[in-house]
Structures are given as structure tokens and as C-alpha cells.
Amino acid sequence: MIAAFEYFAPKTVREALSLLAKYKEEAKMIAGGQSILVVMKQRLLTPEYLIDIKGITDLDYIKYDEGKGLRIGALTIHRAIEKSPVIQKHFGVLSEMEGNLATIQTRNWGTIGGNICHGDPAGDPASVLIALKAKLKLASSAGERIVEAEEFSKDYLEVALEPNEMLTEIQVPTPPAHTGTAYEKLMVMKGDMGIIGAAVSITLDSKGGCGDARIALSNAASVPLRAKKAEKVLIGKTINNGLLTKAGEVASTEATPPADVHGSIEYRREMAKVFVKRAAQLALERAKAA
Ligand SMILES: Cc1cc2nc3c(=O)[nH]c(=O)nc-3n(C[C@H](O)[C@H](O)[C@H](O)COP(=O)(O)OP(=O)(O)OC[C@H]3O[C@@H](n4cnc5c(N)ncnc54)[C@H](O)[C@@H]3O)c2cc1C
């Protein structure tokens, strides 16, 4: 059973932040509750104060501007991102990723902010956001700061939020011309947490070579893992099948995946090879067509 707590339901960011400033480590936020209620039921988390931010409608938005890029409010539900026409048009990989995340019920209530702040390295959005060079806006009553999505996860279920801070916005820059991005995850059934996931973004230069590449893996380490050595395999080269295979192999050596009932360390490493190659192939095709 969940331990007793005092409950607050602020309607503004300011109100939520002043509660956080007051109760700090003794407080926890709840957005959709899809992850936090599980850990509270297990008593891995026993906050004295629960701050329910689901009613802060100001943080539920999707805004796009060609210059500024995409801005997603932290309380936007997964389903809204999946179904957003503007995201489908300009950031298709985000919509695709969301379409394979959990069940429709969970997507209809769980928020992108809650997913990222939960800090599960098996989560899908973080890797895709790292590949897209996203930034996160964190707020406290003292002000705001921006962190790279890549810097946000610190360890398993640990993120770079101070006790008085909350995530308010996800910022995704508009990718350069001739960029393609793809996310592939290994699932037993559609909507399962990935046994392994790979997000790859490739930007082609004017001669068709690889000007830039980003590779990030889900469930391959204690944090969403940027595979920088694998990126170097592609950058500056004309990508061919051999290089895609090599990028997958190198990414797999960078991974330190967990072992569980769904797969051993060795199996996940093998699958990292396959899924990095698969995502990179698709990203390349998309970059050529962009
Ligand atoms: C059946 C099931 C299947 C799932 N499958 C997948 C899957 O395939 N892929 C995947 O990626 N995820 C999956 N998930 C996880 C799911 O996506 C997350 O549980 C959900 O997105 C979390 O969002 P939430 O709003 O419910 O967060 P909550 O559970 O309310 O909060 C999670 C954590 O984030 C903190 N938090 C929430 N919002 C903020 C904020 N704005 N600022 C600071 N801290 C905040 C909370 O304090 C808490 O620590 C699955 C979950 C379920 C239940």
C-alpha cells in the first residue's frame, strides 16, 4: 500500500515551484502518475508531500517555428505528440516513437515530462531527443536554466533536477537540411518497453557524405547512452553498408546493458548492433530524401 502523504494540486507553475521550494526533498511531483505510482506502491519512494501538476494547463502545448524549432510543454501527453500534425510533418521520428510507446491508455495520461524525469534508461523519448539535439528547460523559484537532453540523466532513475526544480519545456531545434532521423526498438509486443532501442540522426553534406551523426541507445546502460565512437565511424565518410555494420558493432562495444528476464548482456549487445544499423539505414534514406 502507498504510504500516507499530503496532497497539493497547484494550477500554476509559480504555485508548484513555491511548494517545491518549501518542501524540497520531502516533496515529489506527480504528472500522469504512470511511473511514480508504481514506485510509491513498491515503497521505493515515500514522499511526505505530493504535488499534482497535471492541472497546470500552461505546460500542455506543442509549438513550432521554423527558426526556433519545436517546443513541447512538459505536461503534454504522449498521445498528443504522436497525433500532432506539426510533429508528424517536421519531426516524424517523435510521432513514430510515441506510437510504439506503451498502450494508448498510458499514452493518453502519461506525459513526456514525466517520462524523462522518471529517468528510466529504457524509456524511448530520451534517446530520440538526444539524437535530435534537444534541450530541456528547468525552472525553480530562483529562475530557469537550460540543460542538454544528453546531460539530463545521471544514473538509473536519477536525473539532473535539483529538489526545488521542475521540467517545464522540451526544446528541439529544427534539423539542418538533408537530415534524417529514425528510432528502432526491439519489443516482444508493440508498446512494450524496448529490450534495446536505437535513435540515429544523420546529416548529409553537399557532396552526399556524412556531415554529422548522432547515435543514442535506450536500455543499453544506466542512462540513455550517446554512442560517440559509433558516430565517428560515420562522420566525414560516404556511408555504405559496411560502415553501417561497423557503426552498429562499435555502438555495441560502448553499451553496458543490463541483464534481465528479457535478455542477457550478450543478447542486448548483439541486438544493439542490429538496431543501430537498422536505424542508421533508415535515417540515411530519410536524409537522402530530405
Ligand atoms: C504499461 C506501461 C507501459 C509503458 N511502456 C513504455 C514504453 O514502451 N516506453 C517508454 O518510454 N515508457 C513506457 N512506460 C512509461 C511511461 O511512458 C511513463 O510512465 C510516463 O510517460 C510517465 O509520465 P507521467 O506523466 O505518468 O509521470 P509520473 O509517473 O507522474 O512521474 C514520473 C516521475 O517524473 C517526475 N515528474 C513528472 N513530471 C515532472 C516535471 N514536469 N518536472 C519534474 N519532475 C516531474 C515525478 O516526480 C516522478 O518522479 C510505460 C508505462 C506503463 C505503465
DSSP characters for 40-67?
HHTTS---SEEEE-TT-GGG--EEEETT
Expressed in angstroms and rounded, the spacing between residue 114 Cα and the centre of ligand 1 is 4
Predicted local distance difference test score (pLDDT) of residue 16: 98
Which atom from ligand 1 is nearest to the alpha carbon of 167? Answer: 42
Predicted local distance difference test score (pLDDT) of residue 122: 97
* Domains, the chain: 6-52 (3.30.43.10), 57-172 (3.30.465.10), 179-289 (3.30.390.50)
- Region for 153 from its dihedrals, namely left if φ exceeds 0, alpha if ψ lies in -120 to 50, beta otherwise: beta
Q: Which of 117, 147, 159 to mutate to test ligand 1, by most ligand atoms within 8 A of the CB atom?
A: 117
Expressed in angstroms and rounded, the spacing between residue 107 Cα and the centre of ligand 1 is 10
Expressed in angstroms and rounded, the spacing between residue 32 Cα and the centre of ligand 1 is 7
Instruction: Give the three cell numbers for residue 52.
Output: 499534482
Predicted local distance difference test score (pLDDT) of residue 191: 87
Q: Along the chain (290 residues), what's the average pLDDT of each consecutive run of 10 residues?
A: 94 98 96 97 95 98 96 98 98 98 97 98 98 98 98 98 98 98 95 95 97 98 98 98 98 97 96 98 97
Expressed in angstroms and rounded, the spacing between residue 52 Cα and the centre of ligand 1 is 13
- Residue among 76, 72, 56 nearest 12 (CA): 56
Expressed in angstroms and rounded, the spacing between residue 158 Cα and the centre of ligand 1 is 13
Atom 1, ligand 1: residue with shortest CA distance: 102
Q: Which of 34, 48, 100 to mutate to test ligand 1, by most ligand atoms within 8 A of the CB atom?
A: 34
- Which ranges of 102-145 would DSSP assign to H, the alpha helix? 104-107, 112-118, 124-131
Predicted local distance difference test score (pLDDT) of residue 102: 97
Distance of alpha carbon 84 from alpha carbon 244, whole angstroms: 31
Expressed in angstroms and rounded, the spacing between residue 98 Cα and the centre of ligand 1 is 13
Expressed in angstroms and rounded, the spacing between residue 51 Cα and the centre of ligand 1 is 15
Relative to beta strand 49-52, strand 27-30 is parallel
Predicted local distance difference test score (pLDDT) of residue 35: 97
Instruction: Give the three cell numbers for residue 114.
Output: 514525466
- Residue among 85, 145, 84 nearest 112 (CA): 84
Q: Which residues line ligand 1 (CB under 6 A)?
A: 28-36, 53, 74, 101-103, 106, 110-111, 113-115, 117-118, 123-125, 161, 166-167, 191-193
Residue whose grid cell is 543478447: 267
pTM score, whole prediction: 0.98
Q: Helix, strand, coil shares of the chain as percentages rounded to 5?
A: 40, 25, 35
Q: At what angle do helices 241-254 and 265-289 cross, to 10 degrees?
A: 140
Predicted local distance difference test score (pLDDT) of residue 211: 98
